[in-house]
Structure 1
Amino acid sequence: MTGQARVVIVDDHPIWREALERDLVAAGCAVVGAFADAEAAVRTAPALRPDVVLMDLQLPGMSGVQGVAALVGIDPAVRVLMFSSSGEDEDVLAAVKVGARGYLVKSASKRELLDAVQRTAAGEAIFSPGLAALVLGEYRRIGRDEPDPTALLTERETEILRKVSTGLTARQIAESLVVSHRTVQNHIQNTLRKLQLHNRVELTRWAIEQGLTD
């Protein structure tokens, strides 16, 4: 996306909420709403047209997971990034299953948080280290009729992944897509991180196994 990311914060701890707003504004984001509970966010946030809703998990009354479900019910395109002290598997999966676009634990650094907000606003699925593999594993475990192996990837990342699987170099991919070599490298690194893979060999093997070939 271009321009300021419009962010809504939902956190019942005033100190956390104020610190988040201060950091986001300092980073160039527009905080268009800040709420102490999910009910207020569900009533008001859709009209604020946020690019990202930064949602705590444990909230008074309606939980963060219930809040995500309600917001997605109003607008399926809403991008909710969970920001919670809990990294428990069941909490992460519960949030993702109702429509959260990503999940970041509160032990993340300020830089990681700000980066996650910007990338969520741009349409990426962002997870704390280790959680992306958990989510992908769950997609495989539940055995969907037509599982989406690229559920965590953007369209561009998937497009580049298909070309990687054919053996093209980053420079060749850049030429075919008319983008810079650095842009392709960045997308490949993002994909490796999301899929918890270590190098292009593993990435190519994974893509071929999933049928992601041109």
Structure 2
Amino acid sequence: MSRLIRVGAIDNHPVVLLGLGAAFAETAPDMRLVAIAGSADELLERAHDGLDVVLLDMRIPGQPPAHETVATLVEHGLVVVLFTAEERPVPVRRAIGAGAAGLILKVDPVESIAQSIRDAVAGDLACSSQLATMLLSDEDVGTRLSPRQIEILRAVSAGLPYRMVGRQLGIGEVTVREHLARAAKAYREGGVETGNVHGLISRARADGHLDG
């Protein structure tokens, strides 16, 4: 008989998770949803010593960015799998870089979700569907921006004029404009015209570059 896999979850939609727990009972008798919490601290208080894997929703209002939560849970020796409707590659890959064991999309069939959990517990990369795999590994999905470009976009999006951005970062205004131009070029080379700087900021935010 297979060892029971004890699953915890951090999510602000407990009804969805209760449905998942019921589905496990019917289709995945080797796993059980044993703890649901709204934050990493709450989960650690409840069930840190009795979990094999944690499902983490990436969009919980009032909580730290997902990659920070992943890092916290991994530091406590927990296996973390992203369980989310998030389809933006930047925050997904950031969370994977922090130690998440894979990605499960909430829209995927429960059989795929269960198998992905088994994969994560076994030490393999968990991917619940072709889209999840693409978000994790396809270099053509999402435009890559440098840390400096993101830093400048974040400052400009806060309303700072270019001169103040340059002063804050220790660079000239011309250099600020050059970084913005390179970011726009990166999008253009990927087939996306961002237009002016406001369009560039909107696109970078939509892709998740300005999260966290």
Q: TM-score, normalised by structure 2?
A: 0.57
Could you tell me which residue of structure 1 aligns to residue 130 of structure 2?
129
Measure the CA separation in 1 of the matches of 2:23 and 2:69: 24
Measure the CA separation in 1 of the matches of 2:25 and 2:121: 15
1:53 aligned counterpart, secondary structure: strand
Deviations 1:80-137 (A, max 9, x none): 1111001111121111011100011112112111111122222211123144355446
Q: Structure 1 22/125 Cα, relative in aligned 2: closer, same or farther at 3 Å? A: same
Could you tell me which residue of structure 1 aligns to residue 38 of structure 2?
36
Measure the CA separation in 2 of the matches of 1:25 and 1:33: 15
1:31 aligned counterpart, secondary structure: strand
Letter in 2 for 1:59: I
Number of matched residues? 137
Deviations 1:41-62 (A, max 9, x none): 23333222x1111111111332
Residues 137-176 of structure 1 correspond to what in structure 2 (within 5 A)? none
Residues 1-214 of structure 1 correspond to what in structure 2 (within 5 A)? 2-26=2-26, 27-28=28-29, 29-48=31-50, 50-63=51-64, 64-75=66-77, 78-127=78-127, 128-136=129-137
Measure the CA separation in 2 of the matches of 1:91 and 1:125: 17
Contact kept in structure 2, 1:57 and 1:82, CA below 8 Å: yes
Measure the CA separation in 2 of the matches of 1:14 and 1:56: 11
What's the CA shift for 1:37? 2.6
Q: Structure 1 85/134 Cα, relative in aligned 2: closer, same or farther at 3 Å? A: closer
Q: TM-score, normalised by structure 1?
A: 0.56
Could you tell me which residue of structure 2 aligns to residue 184 of structure 1?
none
Contact kept in structure 2, 1:4 and 1:30, CA below 8 Å: yes
Q: Structure 1 45/94 Cα, relative in aligned 2: closer, same or farther at 3 Å? A: farther
Unaligned runs of 5+ in 1: 142-214
Q: Percent of aligned positions with the same letter in both sequences? A: 26
Q: Which is higher, the Rg of structure 1 or of structure 2?
A: 2
